[in-house]
Amino acid sequence: MTDEVRAVARRMYAAFNAHEYTATEEIFTTDFFSHPLSATGPENVTRAWQRFHEAFPDAQVIVEDMVVEGNTAAVRTSVRGVPGRQPPTMLEIFRVRDGRIAELWALSSLRRDS
């Protein structure tokens, strides 16, 4: 299970970095729930990725650390291609079911201006 969780995590970041929006259908379960977005389904991930890339077209997520236990991964990343003195960091924790991400929690140092 650990290798499967690690593989889907790496696939998710690779798809984000490559702007592969249609990959969300194979990476996330149909009932996927994002706690940060308070939204269900891969289509919400697609929209979030698209909005992020519209704001930061050169953004790349770099995996700094990944800890996997059972069906859960905790990943610390940095985000390159976002203006600022230091790259923003993120901590994401997600649960995998049947080879796909089913649930996600996240914290980010990226400032969001409303």
Q: What is the pLDDT of residues 11-49, one digit of tens each?
A: 999 999 999 999 999 999 999 999 999 999 999 999 999
Count up the domains in the chain and report the number: 1
pLDDT-derived band at 112 (thresholds 50, 70, 90) equals low
For range 57-65, the mean pLDDT: 97
| Chain center to CA of 110 | 14
Provide, rounded to the nearest whole percent, the portion of the chain with pLDDT above 70: 96
pLDDT value of residue 83: 86
CATH number, residue 10: 3.10.450.50
Position 62 in a domain: yes
CA dist., res. 82 & res. 63, Å (int) = 16
CA dist., res. 51 & res. 57, Å (int) = 10
Any idea how long the chain is? 114
| Chain center to CA of 53 | 13
Q: What is the largest CA-CA distance in the chain?
A: 40
Position 82 in a domain: yes
Q: Please list, in sequence order, all residues whose beta carbon lies within 8 angstroms of the beta carbon of residue 8, skipping any fewer than 6 positions away.
A: 27, 96, 99, 100, 101
Position 100 in a domain: yes
pLDDT value of residue 111: 66
Position 72 in a domain: yes
pTM of the model: 0.92
pLDDT value of residue 110: 78
